[in-house]
Homo-oligomer: A and B are copies of this chain.
Amino acid sequence: MIGRMLRVSIFGESHGRGVGVLIEGFPPGIPIDEEYLARELAKRRPGAPLTSPRREEDKPEILAGVFNGRTTGGPILVFIRNKDVDSSFYEEVKMKPRPGHADYPAMVKYWGFNDYRGGGHNSGRLTAGVVAAGAFAKRLLSLFDIRVYAYIVRIGDVEAQVEPVDSDEFRERIYSSPVRCPDPTSEKVLVARLREALSDGDSLGGIVEAVAFNLPVGLGDPPMDGLDSDLAKALISIPGAKGVEFGLGFRLASMKGSEAVDPWVYRDGMIMTESNKMGGLNGGMTNGMPLVVRVAFKPTSTIRKPVKTINLETMEETMLRGKGRHDPCIAIRAVAVVEAYVAIVLADHLLRWLAWQPVKSRISG
């Protein structure tokens, strides 16, 4: 479960009946309908040939918590039935754990009772539930003019230069790009590199960056529930995520203090920092600058190139060749998930922050 005031729990299996999400603590009166959810879920489904040929017609059903087109204040349950599921590959490799996947640890942890098909409840398919919850969170944030954008800044050895802007046009550029990269120049190189990897039967890693604009100062509850802590927990839970960083992140480790300064300045009647090397966070709290977070994704582990593994029955080495439907770069599909998780964590912390505001006015008054 993620969150304190706004709590989100995902469930489901890749090749079971479906996946979904339970959302608790969401305020009433926010307009939501299944069409909007379906559009949001479609963001996880970039166009062929760059992603998995699996055609998930993600038709979300809101089974609870929405009445007459608005949230009720009660628990919300969204369910997305699975379709178009071919499990034959998984029967074949049941005893041949895929390198880089959770097959083996899951078999040990769950004593062989887990749904081994397609990763079961460890599958990336469960992020559909995250995107659904994010759709709710974004509607809540939009009441406070807070907006979140996520996009690709790296695929394999190609880095994209993206200058995020708080605009609908920027968002459209992201989701009209098959690689979720709003920079047209970079996009072409990224697409070429992906085609190359595909034709090699290989895959590529990538980095997703998210930025959030218009945050109030002071979101985050240090010492142990800082906004960055809660974001890191959520973002690392995305299948394939192997690293998370804020602002300049790991680059700060190589820098001097005098180079890593964000001086406070007063501009246009506002207190802000001259640069944003810290990604809008000081001590786990927002500082009024845009929040910047990046998530590193490993390359898709299942590839058409044969990889070595063992047969768990014979303990002999064997070669495994991916036959399931997999994206050549999971980072692309993860863009919508990163956007959703950032929105969820922000909405949770916004509600926590809002709870104190009436107290403030009573103390001052």
Contact = CB atoms under 8 A, between A and B. Distances in A.
Interface stretch (A36-44, A166-174, A181-189, A284-292): A284-292
A109 B74 contact: no
B67 A13 contact: yes
Contacts of A264: 97, 99, 104, 308-310
A358 B248 CA distance: 34
B232 A355 contact: no
Contacts of A255: 156, 204-205, 298-299
A211 B270 CA distance: 44
A331 to B, nearest CB: 7
Interface in A186-218: 197, 200, 202-207, 217-218
Contacts of A143: 359, 362-363
A296 to B, nearest CB: 4
The 7 closest A-B pairs by CB, nearest first: A102-B283, A109-B218, A74-B121, A243-B245, A203-B257, A11-B75, A355-B355
A102 B222 contact: yes
Contacts of A126: 223
A317 interface: yes
A260 interface: yes
A85 interface: no
Nearest to A122: B283
Given A106-B283, A274-B308, A359-B354, A114 B72 contact: yes
B283 A223 contact: no
Contact of A232 (B114, B224, B236): B236
Nearest to A208: B253
B360 A29 contact: yes
A96 B229 CA distance: 27
Interface string A95-133: 001011111111011110111000111100010000000
A39 B102 CA distance: 35
Nearest to A12: B64
Nearest to A127: B223
A115 B119 CA distance: 37
Residue of A7, A113, A316 with most chain B CB atoms under a 10 A cut-off = A113
B9 A257 contact: no
A265 interface: yes
A318 to B, nearest CB: 9
